[in-house]
Structure 1
Amino acid sequence: MPKVKNLRFARRALTPPSFTVAAASASILIAAPSAHAQAPLNYFLHAAGPAAYPTRTLGWIFTAICVVVCVIVSALLIGALRRRRDPASPGEIGATGEGMRWIWIGVGVSGPVLAGMLIFALFTLQQVATPLQSPAITVTVTAYDWWWKVSYSDPHEPAQRFETANEIHIPVGEPIRIVLKSADVIHTFWVPRLAGKTQAIPGQANEQWIQADSPGVYRGQCSQFCGAQHAHMAFEVVAQSRADYNNWSEQQARRISANVAASVVAGNKIFLDRCAGCHAVRGTDASGALAPDLTHLNSRRMIAAGTLRNTAENQLDWIAHAQLIKPDARMPSINLNREDVTNLRAFLSTLD
C-alpha cells in the first residue's frame, strides 16, 4: 500500500458524500484556529476607534434598559400568578378598574423611556455619520458570494491603483472612507471594534468610515445572511503605522517580476490554463475579474475569505478541495497530478 503523505487528503478521499459538510467543518476548525483566537467577533463589546465608541455606549445603555424592563415584567408576572382571584366575586375578564390603572402606569413609564432611547439613538447616528477630519484614503469594497474585493485608488497617481481581497490595510489614527458595493446579493460590511454595520446593496453605493486608534488586526464579517457560505465570508482590517502602510501600498501596486525557473514557467502555464479565467496576476497574462486578484497572494494572512491560514499547504489544499472546505463557493475543486502540484506551488511561491 503506498504511503500517504497528506493525511487530510487521504481522509477527504475516503469521506462519503453524506459526510462532506461535517468533514469540511472539521477541516476548517483544525486548519484555522488562529482566525478565532487572534481576532474573535466577540470583541464587539470593546471599541477600538472613534466610529465605534458611541455605538458601544449606545449598546450598553440599551442593554441595561432591556434588562431592567425584563426584570420588572418578570416581577409583575410572578406577582400576578401568585395572586388568587376571590372565588366569591369572579368579576369580569377584561382591562377594567385596577387593570386599566396598571396599563396607564406602564404607558406613562415606557413612553418617555422609548422616546429617550430614540433621541439618544439619533444623536449617536449623528456622531458616527462623519469623521472629525476629512478621510485621506478611500477604499472601495465590493462584496461577492462569498468574498470581498478591496480596491485602492489614488486620484493623483493612477499608477498606484491596485486590488486585493479579504484584507484591508489602513494607517493608524486616520479616518478611512469605505465605499460599499455588491456584485450579486445584499451583504453587510461589519468590523465590530471599528464601526457599525453598513449594507452592500446591488446597484447602489453606500458609504461609511472606519478608524483604528492602535495597531492590530481587526476581524470583520458579513452579518447579512447572503447564502450557503455566509458564515465563511470574513475579512480582516490590518491597522499599521503610516510608514508601514505606505510601504505595503507601494509593494501592492507593483507587478510581479518575471521568473525564468523551469518549474515557475510550467506553473505559470498551469495557472493560465486552469485559473486565469477567474483570477488576475498583474505582470502575467492572467486577467480574470470574477475572483480575487492574486498578484501578492503571499502577503495576506488568510485565504478563502478568512477560512484558512495562508500557507503553501493550505493554498494547494484550497485549490484541490475548495468544494469540501467551502461547499457551494464559486471556486471549483481542481484535480492536479503530482507534477502539476509541484509546478503550481513553485509559481504561487513567487506571488509576494
Structure 2
Amino acid sequence: MRRVALVPALFLAGCEGWQSATDPGGPAARELHGLFLLFTISCGLVWIAVMLVLAAALLRRRAAEVRPEPERRPTLAVGAAVAATVLIVTGLTVASYLATRSIAAAPPDPLVIRLRGYQWWWEVTYDDPRPDRILLTANEIHIPTGRPVRIELASADVIHSFWVPGLSGKQDMIPGRSNSLTFTAERPGLYRGQCAEFCGLQHAHMALHLIAEPPEVFERWRDAQLAEAAAPVGAEEEAGRRIVEGRACGACHTVRGTQAAGQLGPDLTHVGGRAYLAAGMLPTTRGSLAAWIADPQTIKPGNNMPMIPLTADELQAVTAYLVRLR
C-alpha cells in the first residue's frame, strides 16, 4: 500500500492505465483525435461515393447490354470527380497543417523533462535552474496536471520513438539529434506509452508509464525523489545494501547516498516506489525483483543486465533492501 500511495493517480483509469489515441487527455491529443476523425470520416465518405458510382456503372452496363445506347463521354462526372478530389485533398492538408501548428506552439513556463532512450528502457531527467533540484529517474514520468510539459528527446544507441497516445503524437528519438514534444495533461491518471519505432529484439517490451497528478501531489513526489535512498532497517536490509555496493550492481546502477554510483543502468535510488520494473515488464514486488535479478535474460532476452551469481540468502537480502528504496 505504501508504494501505491506514492502514485495516487495510478489506478484511476483501471489497473494499468490506458493507451488509446481515441481517449484524449489534453489539448494536443484532442487536436490529433479531431484530425483522426476528420480523415476517417472523409475517407469513409469517399469510399461510399466510389462504391455507389461503381454500382451505378455496373447497373448501367447491364442495361446497355440489354438495350444498347450510343456511348456518351462522361465529361461532367469526370470533371466533378477531379474537383472533389482537389477540394478534399486541399481541405485535409489545411486541417493537418493547422493541427500541427497548434501542437507545435511553445507555451510559457513548461516543465522540462529530458528523456533518453536506451535498449530497452527510458532515462528520465527533470531539469531545474538549481543543480540540487535536478532529478534523475527511469521508466516512469510524473507530471503535474494543467501545466505544459516539454519532453526533450534523445537516443543513446538506435532510433527510438516516444509515444503516449492519450496525451500527444509520436516523436522520433534519433542518435545525435535532439527533438522535443510539448503537451499538457488536463486530468489526473495513468497514461501508458511505448517506443513506437522498432529498436531491436525487445522493442515490444519498451513501455513507460506517465502519471499525471495535481500540482501539489507532484511537488511532494518530486521532493521525495530528490532525497537520498532510504537507510536500511535491520540486518537483512543492511546486508543487501552492502551487496549492492560491493557487487556488479553498484558498477552499473546509482543509489544516491551509497557507494553505488554506476551510470550504465537505471538509477535505483527510489526503485521500490515505481509501479513497474524493466520498462513495464513486471510489477514492482519483492518476488518480481528476485526473478529479475536472478535471471534477467529469461525475462527480457538481449537486455544489457548480466546475470549476477547470488546465493539464496544474498538474493533475499538484496530484494529486501531494494523494496525499501521508495
TM interval, short-chain normalised: 0.7 to 0.9
Residue from 33, 41, 46 that aligns with 1:64? 41
- Deviation, structure 1 residue 336: 2.9
State the alpha-carbon separation in 1 of the partners of residues 76 and 300 from structure 2.
58
Asked whether the 8 Å contact 1:35–1:306 carries over to 2, the reply is no
Amino acid at match of 1:121: S
Deviations 1:242-263 (Å, cap 9, x if unpaired)?
1111111111111124437432
Amino acid at match of 2:114: T
Gaps of 5+ in 1: 1-33
Amino acid at match of 2:253: H
State the alpha-carbon separation in 1 of the partners of residues 224 and 158 from structure 2.
32
What's the RMSD between the two structures over aligned residues? Answer: 2.5
Closer/same/farther in 2, CA of residues 309 and 101 from structure 1, 3 Å limit = same
What is the 5 A alignment of 1:280-299?
280-299=254-273
Residue from 186, 206, 229 that aligns with 1:213? 186
State the alpha-carbon separation in 1 of the partners of residues 78 and 32 from structure 2.
32
* Structure 2 counterpart SS, 1:76: helix
Residue from 104, 111, 115 that aligns with 1:129? 104
State the alpha-carbon separation in 2 of the partners of residues 263 and 47 from structure 1.
46
State the alpha-carbon separation in 1 of the partners of residues 82 and 205 from structure 2.
44
- Deviation, structure 1 residue 330: 2.1
- Deviation, structure 1 residue 134: 2.9
Closer/same/farther in 2, CA of residues 88 and 65 from structure 1, 3 Å limit = closer
- Deviation, structure 1 residue 321: 2.9
State the alpha-carbon separation in 1 of the partners of residues 240 and 197 from structure 2.
38
State the alpha-carbon separation in 2 of the partners of residues 35 and 134 from structure 1.
28
Closer/same/farther in 2, CA of residues 35 and 283 from structure 1, 3 Å limit = farther
- Deviation, structure 1 residue 194: 1.1
Closer/same/farther in 2, CA of residues 79 and 242 from structure 1, 3 Å limit = same
State the alpha-carbon separation in 2 of the partners of residues 229 and 99 from structure 1.
55
State the alpha-carbon separation in 2 of the partners of residues 222 and 102 from structure 1.
46
- Deviation, structure 1 residue 325: 1.9
Asked whether the 8 Å contact 1:165–1:293 carries over to 2, the reply is yes
Q: 1:176 — aligned with what?
A: 149
Q: 1:311 — aligned with what?
A: 285
Normalised TM-score (structure 2): 0.87
**Percent identity of paired positions between Structure 1 and Structure 2:** 39
- Deviation, structure 1 residue 59: 0.8
> In the alignment, does 2:256 pair up with 1:278?
no
> In the alignment, does 2:165 pair up with 1:192?
yes
Amino acid at match of 2:30: Y
Q: 2:73 — aligned with what?
A: 98
Closer/same/farther in 2, CA of residues 301 and 153 from structure 1, 3 Å limit = same
Q: 2:6 — aligned with what?
A: none
* Structure 2 counterpart SS, 1:349: helix
- Equivalent residue pairs, number: 311
* Structure 2 counterpart SS, 1:117: helix
State the alpha-carbon separation in 1 of the partners of residues 54 and 203 from structure 2.
40
Closer/same/farther in 2, CA of residues 88 and 331 from structure 1, 3 Å limit = farther
Asked whether the 8 Å contact 2:230–2:325 carries over to 1, the reply is no
Asked whether the 8 Å contact 2:290–2:316 carries over to 1, the reply is no
Normalised TM-score (structure 1): 0.81
